[in-house]
A and B are shown apart, each in its own frame.
Chain A
Amino acid sequence: MTAQPTQSTQPDLLYSEEEDALRAAVRDLLTDHCDAAGVIARAESDAPHDRELWKALGESMGLAGLLVPESSGGQGATHREAAVVLEELGRAVAPVPYLTSAVVATEALLACEGDEAAKLLSALASGRTIGALAVALSTAPGAPVKSVRHEEGALHGELTGIADASAADVLLVPAQDGGLYAVDAAAVTITPQVSLDLTRPLATVAFDGAPARRLTSDAAQAVRRALRAGAGLLASEQLGLADWCLAETVRHLKDRKQFNRPVGGFQALKHRLAHLWLEVVNARAAARNAADALSTASPDTDVAVAVAQAYAAPVAVHAAEEALQLHGGIGMTWEHPVHLYLKRAKADSLVYGSAGAHREALAELVDLPAPL
């Protein structure tokens, strides 16, 4: 532990031209295929995930394989590009398993070796197979995980809080013998849980002798890597959410008239929105820093991820809460999409570790230890 960790290289905190082009392409797709009314209607249906959107995004555009090397059937891009995709998905609260399959499950597989892992990696990269890491969504990187019993090539037990399990074709499951196993979704019982975030639903997964293929004997390391990437890139999703909330609220307040003037002209509201803008500006720097650190495997990655999560998670919640309040009665209706953003933002603030959990991690990382 050094008192002041030094960064070996300066992070690139901007967006490249290619990243801007990628953003534009994803935004176009979402504008055409992921409108708010559709997301609200889908949220309460039997199929909360948007399969068609996933197909367009993951398969046609090839974005499911951004983090996978070309030699393994992916795009050979980096976390920086995946972060841009997540910003746009956050902006649209898109109900697709991008973070869970194309980032977290993919990162877990990248930590594994052997034919089974390689086969699954290219299947996930193609977008035709959806994977889910069977670790509770609220788990922070490095925190203990619940595992199931492995006996004679099969798994026994039950796990809860598994995000996007109901969309998954394959589950990556930590077992009590320390290994990580691949299990086909068809071989387990997946029961949806009524979730706070309707667009990223949780499920319980029951294993009753499900046949399992071993991916690695070091599940802890694979899970840690997966959750760290998930936490770091979640900050970009939170940035997208917050940015939408700010932009939509500003738009509404310019338009909405009360007391014979635009509501956005009242100084109390102007100042609140200016504060929120500043938070979003800061969240962007923190999210870019985490994405860049992950993409360059910087020695500063643990700090960058913890800082990004500790900062961006509350910003997204604040933005969604302000959006609801400043939309007044309209914001309280089921019809207006702001509730989707509030639910996603609040849920996200627990995902892959709360802000508090990440601050505690920082206490050790930057040598600001707790009282004895």
Chain B
Amino acid sequence: MTDAATKAGAPKAGAPDAAELRRRTQELLAAQPPATTDRLDFLKARFDAGLAWVHYPEGLGGLGAPRSLQAVVDAELEAAGAPDNDPRRIGIGLGMAAPTILGFGTEEQKSRFLRPLWVGEEVWCQLFSEPGAGSDLAALGTRAVRDGDDWVVNGQKVWTSSAHLARWAILIARTDPDVPKHRGITYFICDMTDPGVEVRPLRQVTGEAEFNEVFLTDVRIPDAHRLGEIGDGWRVAQTTLMNERVSIGGMRIPREGGMIGPVSKTWRERPELRTNDLHQRLLKLWVEAEVARLTGERLRQQLVAGQPGPEGSGMKLAFARLNQEISGLEVELLGEEGLLYEDWTMRRPELVDFVGRDAGYRYLRSKGNSIEGGTTEVLLNIVAERVLGLPSEPRTDKDVAWKDLAR
């Protein structure tokens, strides 16, 4: 983990222990009874009591306590029927923007942005990927040019979830085209209400539009909204991306908890669909899904024991392939029904559930699992190089100015 997350995760001397956190949680519940308190007021009070994310510093929603003790607070609050901040709706803010702001933001930025982010008043999105910069994110071409106290930004971003709901975005843009690509990037906080920001839905193979294209035309960003040093944006972005990976895989999943669940249910309920071929394939995938679940559980136990292993790098690879194979099998199992699709209407889902909707949707949506958050091909390289220590790919792009790269 990089500096921001480590700093946030390291307990300070004199930090509250589990008993103290329990006491403070009960104090909050007594002062703001959930049954009679407005949801947002309760969340703000929780943030101000340092019980939002206990590993964050005091004054910023935390108490400098060990990250693992958050579970103590959450359990007390859940038992008391307290509202939560609907973390799935604000996942990008919580998982990516917040740790980056904490790690690299100024004091003004931290106190301005973290509270409305955590309570969900302000939704965040991430302006990273571009049509010409996918796996090679560092090749991005969105330009930011200094103009007085502002930066003027022009370019196009893509695969942006929540852009149409977001108040703010974390943005990386090119501020120096004359140096090699990793060195000329700067990290900004972008106001999504700026008139130069245009959000267009990006329709995908499922028929709906979870994501957006974002066109930036002469967008003005005050220099006070820069995160980190000029030209240091790539390093800052590593914190964002590292936290994206940490936030995946912390959950305990029950047997048949993922994509294997719906197909197993259909198999049990509809014996007329069964064939010998499908049976063999289903059992094989069931075993693989169960083993992947166990690997996830083992990884979780390693993290709890403070011995994180490299296994996490492989989890996404396994789930992408399994989701695709299992949902493909499910479409076949359905026979005549497998030829139908629930609804092609262009919709804008607020929450995405890979295991939701019908088999056809699951099959099509899971195709994205081996592309989003790092393609399978790039992740295999990462495993081979960083885990197994095999030689890295021959590079021709490291010492060339960004403006001279092939495109």
Q: Chain A interface (Cβ within 8 Å of chain B)?
A: 3-7, 10-14, 250, 253-254, 261-262, 264-265, 267, 269-271, 273-275, 277-278, 281-286, 288-289, 307, 310-311, 359-360, 362-363, 366-372
Q: What is the CA–CA distance of A6 and B384 in the complex, to the nearest angstrom?
A: 36
Stretch of B243-251, B275-283, B357-365 at the chain-chain interface: B275-283
Interface centre among A270, A277, A281, A307 (most CB of B within 10 A): A281
Identity of the chain A residue whose Cβ is nearest the Cβ of B311 in the assembled complex = A281
A271 to B302, CA, bound (A): 26
CB atoms of B391 and A254 under 8 A apart: yes
Tell me if B268 and A367 are in contact (CB < 8 A). Answer: yes
Contact: A14 with B291, CB < 8 Å? no
Of all A-B residue pairs in the complex, the 5 with the closest CB atoms, nearest first, are: A265-B391, A270-B384, A371-B274, A285-B294, A274-B383
Smallest CB-CB separation from B312: which chain A residue?
A: A281
Q: How far is the CA of A284 from the CA of B297 in the complex (A)?
A: 12
Main secondary structure of the interface of A (DSSP, over half): helix
Contact residues in B for A11 (Cβ distance below 8 Å): 294, 297
Known contacts A275-B380, A370-B274, A370-B279; is-contact A285 B287 (Cβ 8 Å): no
Q: Which residue of B lies closest to A250 (CB)?
A: B388
Q: Is the CB of A282 within 8 A of B291?
A: yes
Whether A270 and B298, one on each chain, are in contact in the complex, defined by CB atoms closer than 8 angstroms, is no
Residue in B294, B301, B390 whose beta carbon sits within 8 Å of that of A264 in the complex: B390
Choose among A13, A261, A367, A371 the residue that contacts B391 (Cβ–Cβ < 8 A): A261
State in angstroms the CA–CA spacing of A362 and B287 once bound together: 9
Report yes or no: A270 in contact with B276, Cβ–Cβ below 8 A: no
Q: Flag whether B256 is at the interface (Cβ < 8 A).
A: yes
Kindly provide the distance from the CB of B310 to the nearest chain A CB, expressed in whole angstroms.
Answer: 8
Distance (whole angstroms) from the CB of A154 to the closest CB of chain B: 44
Known: A278-B383, A281-B314, A368-B286. 12 other contacts (CB 8 A): A14-B301, A254-B389, A261-B391, A269-B390, A270-B385, A277-B314, A278-B314, A359-B280, A362-B283, A368-B264, A368-B279, A368-B282
On chain A, the residues within 8 Å of B283 by CB distance are: 310, 359-360, 362-363, 368
Contact status B255-A13, CB under 8 Å: no
Q: State whether B384 touches A285 (Cβ < 8 A).
A: no
A370 contacts across to B, CB distance below 8 A? 274, 276, 279
28 contacts between A and B (CB under 8 A): A10-B297, A12-B301, A265-B394, A267-B381, A274-B384, A274-B387, A277-B383, A277-B388, A281-B311, A282-B295, A282-B318, A284-B298, A285-B295, A285-B297, A285-B298, A310-B284, A311-B287, A311-B288, A359-B280, A359-B283, A362-B283, A362-B286, A363-B283, A366-B264, A366-B286, A368-B279, A371-B271, A371-B275
B317 interfacial contact with A, CB 8 Å: yes
Per-residue CB proximity of B232-266 to A under 8 Å, as 1/0? 00000000000000000000101110000000110
Is B393 on the interface with A (CB-CB < 8 A)? Answer: yes
Is B255 a contact of A4 with CB atoms below 8 Å?
A: yes
Q: Let me know if A3 and B268 touch, CB within 8 A.
A: yes
Distance from B71 Cβ to chain A, minimum over Cβ atoms (Å):
15
Report if B198 contacts A (CB, 8 A). Answer: no
The answer to whether the Cβ of B292 comes within 8 Å of any Cβ in the partner chain is yes
Cβ contacts under 8 Å, A267 to chain B = 381, 393
Asked whether B122 is an interface residue with its Cβ less than 8 Å from the other chain, the reply is: no
CA distance A284 to B298 in the complex (A): 9
Q: Which of under 10, 10 to 19, 20 to 34, or 35 or more describes the interface residues of B?
A: 35 or more
Within 8 A of A (CB), among B299-329: 301-302, 305, 307, 311, 314, 317-318
Q: How far is the CB of A267 from chain B (nearest CB, A)?
A: 7
Measured CA separation A10–B298 after assembly (Å): 11
Closest beta carbon of chain A to B375's beta carbon, Å: 12
> How far, in angstroms, from A368 to B302 measured CA to CA in the complex?
32
Contact of B388 with A274 in the complex, beta carbons under 8 Å: yes
| A282 & B292 in contact (Cβ 8 Å cutoff) | yes
B290 at the interface (CB under 8 A from A): yes
Q: Given A3-B268, A254-B389, A264-B391, are A371 and B256 also a contact pair (CB < 8 Å)?
A: no
Quote the shortest CB–CB distance from A277 to chain B (angstroms): 6
Determine whether B267 belongs to the interface, using a CB cutoff of 8 Å to chain A.
Answer: yes
Residues of A within 8 Å of B286, CB to CB, are 362, 366, 368
Closest to A370 in B: B279
Q: Find the B residue at minimum CB distance from A358.
A: B287
Minimum C-beta distance from A15 to chain B (A): 10
Complex interface: chain A residues within 8 A of B252 (CB): 10
Tell me which residues from 345 to 402 in chain B have a Cβ below 8 Å from any Cβ of chain A.
Answer: 377, 380-381, 383-385, 387-394
Chain B residues in 8 Å Cβ range of A366: 264, 286
Distance between B139 CB and nearest chain A CB, rounded to angstroms: 19
Contact B390 A253 (CB under 8 A): yes
Chain B residue numbers with a CB within 8 Å of A7 are: 255
Q: For B284, what are the chain A residues with a Cβ–Cβ distance below 8 Å? A: 310, 359
Q: Is the CB of B255 within 8 A of A5?
A: yes
Report Cα–Cα, A366/B264, bound state, in Å: 10
* B389, chain A: closest CB distance, angstroms: 7
From A363, which residue of chain B is reached at the shortest CB distance? B283
**A371–B291 Cα gap in the complex (Å)?**
25
- Interfacial chain A residues near B276, Cβ < 8 Å: 370-371
CB-defined contacts of A282 to chain B, threshold 8 Å? 288, 291-292, 294-295, 318
* Docked CA distance A200–B391 (Å): 37
Q: Which residue of A lies closest to B273 (CB)?
A: A371
B277 nearest CB across to chain A (Å):
10
Complex contact B268–A286 (CB within 8 A): no
Complexed CA–CA distance, A3 and B262 (Å): 12
Chain A residues near B384 (CB-CB < 8 A): 270-271, 273-274
Which among B267, B271, B292, B388 has the highest number of chain A CB atoms within 10 Å? B388
User: What's the Cα separation between A253 and B314 when bound, in Å?
Assistant: 21
On whether the beta carbons of A250 and B314 are closer than 8 Å, the reply is: no
How many angstroms between the C-alpha atoms of A359 and B283 in the bound complex?
A: 6
A270–B279 touching, CB < 8 Å: no
Instruction: Report if A13-B298 is in contact (Cβ < 8 Å); known contacts: A270-B384, A368-B286.
Output: yes
Known: A275-B380, A368-B282, A370-B279. A359 touches B301 (CB 8 A): no
- Cα distance A4–B166 in the bound complex, in angstroms: 40
Q: How far is the CA of A310 from the CA of B295 in the complex (A)?
A: 15
Q: Which residues of B contact A270 (CB under 8 A)?
A: 380-381, 384-385, 388, 390
Chain A residues in 8 Å Cβ range of B305: 14
Q: Which of A6, A265, A277 has the most CB of B within 10 A?
A: A277
Structural contact, A273 and B255, CB atoms closer than 8 A? no
**Which of B275, B290, B302, B393 counts the most A-chain CB atoms under 10 A from its CB?**
B290
Instruction: Tell whether A4 pairs with B302 under 8 Å between CB atoms, given A311-B291, A368-B267, A371-B279.
Output: no
Nearest Cβ on chain B to A365's Cβ, whole angstroms: 11
